[in-house]
A = this chain, B = another copy of it.
Amino acid sequence: MTQTSPPQVESRPTQKTVAEKSGFAVTTVSRALADDPLIARATREKIAKVAADLGYTPDRAAQRLRTGRTNVIALVLDPHGEILNFSGSMITGFADVIRDTRYHLTLTQYQMGEDPMAPIRHIVRNKLADGVVFARTEPQDVRVKYLIEAGFPFVTHGRTHLESHAWYDYDNAAFARLAVDRLVAKGRRHILIISPGHQYTFASHMKDGFRAAVAAHGIAGTIPEEFTIDSPSEIANARIKERLSGPDRPDAVICPGEIVAIATLAAINDLGLELGTDIDVIAKQTSSVFDLYRPRIDTVHENIEEAGRTMAQALLDEISGAAPETLQTLQQPKPGF
């Protein structure tokens, strides 16, 4: 055991090391560490102790090569738009759940205008993960079709109209109904709902809820043409101003997110309208920072971190063989304040 010239690359202990130190064969070590009941309890304990003492940890690459399992969950992020820290919160939720499992989190982000399918196909084809996650689903989402077809585990934020799969969704129809109810209670009679990205499933649910509630109350409801979810704030602001001008302007606005709310409040301010008198705004809120926005407005909370945690658990369950039908969560809105 001469510690000579080549600066002793400190190599991690392997099962071979554990085998030598413990006197068992490598195979036995492998099975013992997997807690295989075929190995005598006493042996398992001895080997576990030696492994712990040596600080042994399995080599992920070798496991992956041998078993075909990657122990990786792939997060596919939307292009960086302006949804206030949606991705960040979701990541935190995922990280919370993943932290104490054998899984790692990898991350891809497709670019604006790029095919959302590309990163997913890449992951499946090259088996880069055991499961994949993404958001912003559309009713006939091609990614969902592809993954079902491929039999690849996944979970989405947002439902589709497709065959059963694992998803988490916020009940945007309920959100819209709740929002309309509250505005009507304040005496509002002409409500504008801003719905960015008409192609997304969540938008259609929200609009359905909105239309139903507006009809039930017998008041006026306006759904403008689409506001692109990723359009720069200034453009959104300008278009909202247009909508809030004119003789038959709405006396209330429903905003499906904080950015839209901020743009709306800016428009109201810029037009010289008085909040609470001329007009009311209600928004979906996902970040506590918004509590500091002045003037304060009525909000309905959506907890993105919790969404992330639920989705992570669902995906792990699906990878373990749970039926996708059992892995669907429709989150009810919780009133703010």
Cβ-closest chain B residue relative to A68: B61
Of the candidates A59, A70, A289, the one having the most CB atoms from chain B within 10 angstroms of its own CB is: A289
Mark interface residues in A251-278 (1 if CB within 8 Å of B CB, else 0).
0000000010011011001100000000
CB-based contact B108/A95 at 8 Å: yes
Give 17 A-B pairs besides A59-B65, A266-B294 with Cβ atoms closer than 8 angstroms. Answer: A12-B126, A57-B125, A60-B128, A61-B61, A62-B65, A80-B88, A82-B287, A84-B289, A85-B85, A87-B91, A96-B111, A99-B111, A233-B289, A233-B291, A234-B288, A234-B291, A263-B292
- Once the chains are docked, how many angstroms separate the CA of A275 from the CA of B103? 50
CB-based contact B289/A82 at 8 Å: yes
CB-based contact A232/B84 at 8 Å: no
- Once the chains are docked, how many angstroms separate the CA of A80 from the CA of B116? 27
List, in ascending order, chain B residues with CB within 8 A of A108's CB: 95, 99, 105
Cβ-closest chain B residue relative to A69: B61
CB-based contact B12/A125 at 8 Å: yes
Q: List which A201-236 residues lie within 8 A (CB) of chain B.
A: 232-234
Partner of A288 from B64, B95, B232 at Cβ < 8 Å: B232
